Amino acid sequence: MDASTRDCSTAAALRDAERKANTLFDEVVARGLIVPGVGERQLSDQIRELADELLGVRKFWHKRIVRAGANTMEPYAENPPERVIGADDIVFLDFGPIFADWEADFGRTYVLGDDPAKHRLADDLPRIWEAGREYFEAHPDVTGAQLYAHVLGLIRDAGWDHVGEHVGHLVGEFPHVRISGDKMASYIAAANPDPMRRTDSAGQECHWILEVHLVDRQGGFGGFFEQLLDIGHPPPTANSRQSSSP
């Protein structure tokens, strides 16, 4: 298989993995799993079981994250005490299911109730993500550091704060860490001066996840949105009201 054919095959596999992750999240909403009174761990286990039932997924390449309320302000690396979802809460899901040895990394935010600040933050997530993607598309030689700086600027211009040291990372065939090379070169981060459009140590085209984590420090909540950056799909849409409690 030549390099061009291999790259097309990789892109198709990653796109299919993301499509299945999106199907999983849609089914979480359709089944009304995000409701007041459910604990974060309980919801995570329910989604794990649903992934197995719906798609035969038994492996996740990173820890399953369900965060609600104040816990939505915490970066990925933290493990805050478990919280129970409230009646007027904000919740985000961050899951990395593996489909036929290909990684998906998918994050969405949902709002229960009518708090306007929470809905505004949730609606800003896909808008800022799309603006970051447009910058990536418009700058063929963009580096990880440049895209990081641009996305942080978008976040601050919208009136939110950001947590964490990066806004995305490489994704690929599980486990991608074996082919990612230098750690910071694997992230969309201030410390990554390398061009994002490049090949990895195996000669394959690099593919990226872009993630946006917004925080309202005064309000004590945040939200999260992530999906494939460089493989074509329709612009993201806000889904913050889909899981409002009945």
Residue 175, preceding peptide bond in cis (omega within 30° of 0):
yes
CATH number at residue 135: 3.90.230.10
Closest C-alpha to 144, from 47, 210, 67: 210
Residue 237 lies in a domain: no
Residue 172 lies in a domain: yes
Residue 40 lies in a domain: yes
How many structural domains does the chain have? Answer: 1
Residue 32 lies in a domain: yes
Q: Are 125 and 110 in contact (CB under 8 A)?
A: no
Domain span holding position 51: 3-228
Instruction: Please report the pLDDT score of residue 167 as a whole number.
Output: 97
Instruction: Please report the pLDDT score of residue 2 as a whole number.
Output: 47
Single-letter residue type at 114: D
> Can you list the residues of the chain whose pLDDT is less than 50?
1-2, 61, 100, 174-181, 242-246
> How many angstroms separate the CA atoms of 138 and 166, rounded?
20
Single-letter residue type at 30: A
> How many angstroms separate the CA atoms of 170 and 58, rounded?
22
Q: Are 176 and 170 in contact (CB under 8 A)?
A: yes
Instruction: Please report the pLDDT score of residue 242 as a whole number.
Output: 46
Number of other residues whose CB lies within 10 A of the CB of residue 246: 5
Residue 175 lies in a domain: yes
Residue 44 lies in a domain: yes
Instruction: Please report the pLDDT score of residue 51 as a whole number.
Output: 84
Residue 98 lies in a domain: yes
pTM: 0.86
Residue 238 lies in a domain: no
Instruction: Please report the pLDDT score of residue 82 as a whole number.
Output: 95
Instruction: Please report the pLDDT score of residue 14 as a whole number.
Output: 82
